[in-house]
Amino acid sequence: GQQLNQSPQSMFIQEGEDVSMNCTSSSIFNTWLWYKQDPGEGPVLLIALYKAGELTSNGRLTAQFGITRKDSFLNISASIPSDVGIYFCAGPVSGSARQLTFGSGTQLTVLP
Partner 1 sequence: DTGVSQDPRHKITKRGQNVTFRCDPISEHNRLYWYRQTLGQGPEFLTYFQNEAQLEKSRLLSDRFSAERPKGSFSTLEIQRTEQGDSAMYLCASSPRTDTQYFGPGTRLTVL
33 scored as a contact of partner 1 (CB under 8 A): yes
Whole-angstrom distance, CA of residue 69 vs CA of residue 108: 25
Whole-angstrom distance, CA of residue 31 vs CA of residue 48: 7
Q: Of the candidates 77, 63, 62, which has an alpha carbon nearest to the alpha carbon of residue 31?
A: 63
**Residue closer to partner 1, measured from CB, 45 or 78:** 45
Per-residue contact string for residues 59-88; x = within reach of partner 1 by CB under 8 A:
-----------------------------x
Burial class (CB in 10 A: 0-12, 13-18, 19+), 49: buried
> Whole-number minimum distance, CB 57 to partner 1, in Å?
17
Binding stretches for partner 1 (CB under 8 A)? 30-31, 33, 35, 40-45, 48, 88, 90, 92-93, 95-105
